[in-house]
Structure 1
């Protein structure tokens, strides 16, 4: 049983490492504001179109940045959940022999 728990911990660590290499993006204002993050929810880059930046007011820019960041983080969460569900399914399949 402890072997299975250890395997689960190792699998979770492997998933976390893999999520570092998956890129997600969030955009606002038709792509004029772009956010790039990892599936581990670490923002890596924020890009604002110079044309948009020149005419935007601060409040609008802040709101749209929040929109783009939240979109990227929602994608990251979806990917993370899918990875964990797949790992759990694999792990539970391996545990089936313990209870049968």
Structure 2
């Protein structure tokens, strides 16, 4: 039984290491979100760090519209990044976890 526990602990440690590696890799996975009219473009990493925002000159003339666009499309970009992040981290964590009855 003690050997099984050591083996499980080793698998958990390896899973944690794979999760950390995946988090680092997700820094280089980019999601692009643009408004339908292409006046606003946002690029965000799968770790939810905004990398770039492009605003068309036309939007700069209307502060309220720009604010609305930013709120809507940043939230969409964050949602998409979160979905990718969660899926990747979950897959790696589940793959590396030992088979413990009652936890799946």
Instruction: Indicate the residue corresponding to 1:73 in structure 2.
Output: 78
Gapped regions of structure 1 (runs ≥ 5) = none
Decide which of 32, 52, 59 is 2:59's aligned counterpart. Answer: 52
**Among residues 48, 58, 63, which one is paired with 2:68 in the alignment?**
63
Instruction: Return the offset for 1:81.
Output: 1.4
Whether the 8 Å CA contact 2:31–2:43 is kept in 1: the answer is yes
Give 1:28 shift.
Answer: 2.1
Measure the CA separation in 2 of the matches of 1:4 and 1:90. 10
CA distance in 1, matches of 2:65, 2:10: 53
User: TM-score, structure 1 length as denominator?
Assistant: 0.82
- 1:20-99 equivalence runs, <5 A: 20-53=27-60, 55=61, 57-92=62-97, 95-96=98-99
- In the superposition, the TM-score normalised over structure 2's length comes to 0.79
SS at the partner of 2:11? helix
Q: How many residues align?
A: 94
Q: 8 Å contact 2:59–2:65 — kept in the other structure?
A: no
Normalized per residue, the structure richer in helix is: 1
Higher gyration radius (CA)? 2
- Cα RMSD of the aligned pairs, angstroms, is 1.7
